[in-house]
């Protein structure tokens, strides 16, 4: 396995007894971890949650790969229209395998770029459309419900943009849809217009969908090997079902983070990749962790208001913007470093001496050595100040490793939900805002929410502070 988990700096022996956890605490909680594994395995086998099965679904993977191959070379841009769980997974894959924008190599029919329209900022959407050639763009609207307001609004604009340039019939040849199989207006639109359509299983939520068509279709269209991606994820899945706590790194890490959180009151987790390619993973993880674990009630219906706030920081950049807070501010955080094991290029520093000490000690070394030293030094400084942290190392930044890493985090999140006795797969807290939006935009059936919003506005009008 190309993913390695090092929890050493979570230990009380390193971070101090007030902030780290002890082997005795881990051993005492091991039966709870075993129960979490058994509980999630039971829910999976009952068909309640489906993400563990995604990398094993060869017919779906092959159909996506086959479609991507059939249209390869006919476009230079893949335009994803989606929000929430429909967007960050595709970006995490693209960023992980090609690096963040704008430092990717020039896009072409052989190297299509990925443009993700994940917000309804009108300036952003206008600029994105202006940057793309409709004749060379394939558009992928993604919405599980088939009714997400932001996605539908943006898609209507993008569809009109295609029609204006290509005509109505040709425009349809530039659209492939990802949505639910049995519900939603997007599905009906796709069926009515005979569009290529790929389905998201009902038992897979958006934030757990990166290894479904939600992430795989954009990845395949961008030229990535999704079969390798899924093989890496499948290998991780097999490890994640192990009852051996030492072999099952997702369960072990979930248990460690559960103990640090609940026993040492670390209510914030900082995801700290020391690789620009892994920056997208940090943003993807932020939604996964926040939306899965932020819950008002546990499974018994008791009000708990549980949740650990995820923060994304980029090493070494954010050593110069956030680490001052992390070292000397409130000790309410746990840190997860993401490390690159093998850099594809070292970034050699010239050997020539200049006579300036701040230059010359670096001569002949490399950027790879420097960024690794920055990460190790930051971990050591945090630990010395009683700030618990762990490190996940990704040996190679390739499809198989990235698939394994994403599957690791999804299992870790599922296990954490079991440990907290909450439903990590619902999202009731998001729904009221959606309903208010529907009411404000005049959607039929949501008039009650419009009235509630008007009452809220009336209350605001009478408040002074």
Q: How far apart are CA 136 and CA 172, in angstroms?
A: 13
- How many whole angstroms separate alpha carbon 104 and alpha carbon 166? 28
Query: Does residue 86 register a pLDDT over 80?
Result: yes
- What was the pLDDT predicted at 34? 98
Q: Check residue 211 and give its pLDDT.
A: 98
pLDDT band at 66 (very low <50, low <70, confident <90, very high): very high
Residue closest to 411 by CA, chosen among 229, 294, 288: 288
* Dist. CA 299–CA 418, nearest whole Å: 10
Q: Sign of the CA dihedral 218, 219, 221, 222?
A: positive
Active site residues: 291, 320, 434
Say yes or no to pLDDT of 58 above 80. Answer: yes
Q: What is the pLDDT of residues 428-449, one digit of tens each?
A: 767 788 888 888 889 999 999 9
- Predicted confidence at residue 220, as pLDDT, reads 98
């Amino acid at each position: 396995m190309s993913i390695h988990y090092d929890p050493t700096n979570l230990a009380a022996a390193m971070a101090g007894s007030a902030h780290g956890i002890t082997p005795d605490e881990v051993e005492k909680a091991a039966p709870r971890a075993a129960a979490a594994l058994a509980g999630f395995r039971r829910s999976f086998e009952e068909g309640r949650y489906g993400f563990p099965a995604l990398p094993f679904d060869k017919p779906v993977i092959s159909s996506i790969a086959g479609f991507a191959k059939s249209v390869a070379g006919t476009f230079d841009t893949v335009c994803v229209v989606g929000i929430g769980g429909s967007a960050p997974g595709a970006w995490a894959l693209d960023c992980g395998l090609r690096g963040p924008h704008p430092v990717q190599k020039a896009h072409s029919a052989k190297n299509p770029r990925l443009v993700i329209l994940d917000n309804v900022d009108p300036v952003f959407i206008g600029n994105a459309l202006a940057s793309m050639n409709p004749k060379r763009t394939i558009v992928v609207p993604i919405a599980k419900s088939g009714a997400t307001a932001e996605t539908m609004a943006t898609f209507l604009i993008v569809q009109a943009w295609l029609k204006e340039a290509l005509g109505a019939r040709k425009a349809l040849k530039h659209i492939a849809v990802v949505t639910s199989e049995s519900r939603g207006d997007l599905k009906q639109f796709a069926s009515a217009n005979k569009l290529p359509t790929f389905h998201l299983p009902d038992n897979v939520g958006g934030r757990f969908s990166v290894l479904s068509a939600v992430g795989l279709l954009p990845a395949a269209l961008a030229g990535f090997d999704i079969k390798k991606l899924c093989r890496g994820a499948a290998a991780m899945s097999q490890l994640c079902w192990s009852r051996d706590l030492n072999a099952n790194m997702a369960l072990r890490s979930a248990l460690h983070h559960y103990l640090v959180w609940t026993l040492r009151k670390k209510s914030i987790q900082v995801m700290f990749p020391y690789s620009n390619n892994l920056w997208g993973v940090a943003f993807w993880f932020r939604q996964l962790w926040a939306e899965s674990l932020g819950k008002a009630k546990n499974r018994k219906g008791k009000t708990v208001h549980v949740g650990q706030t995820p923060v994304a920081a980029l090493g070494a950049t954010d050593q110069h913007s956030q680490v001052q807070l992390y070292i000397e501010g409130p000790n309410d955080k746990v840190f997860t470093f993401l490390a690159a094991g093998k850099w594809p290029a070292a970034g050699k520093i010239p050997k020539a001496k200049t006579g300036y000490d701040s230059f010359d000690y670096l001569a002949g070394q490399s950027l790879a050595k420097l960024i690794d030293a920055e990460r190790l030094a930051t971990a050591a400084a945090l630990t010395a100040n009683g700030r618990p942290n762990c490190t996940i190392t990704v040996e190679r930044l390739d499809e198989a490793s990235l698939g394994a890493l994403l599957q690791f985090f999804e299992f870790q999140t599922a296990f954490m939900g079991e440990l907290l006795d909450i439903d990590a797969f619902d999202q009731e807290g998001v729904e009221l805002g959606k309903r208010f939006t529907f009411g404000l935009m005049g959607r039929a059936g949501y008039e009650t929410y419009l009235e509630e919003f008007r009452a809220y506005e009336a209350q605001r009008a009478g408040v002074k502070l």
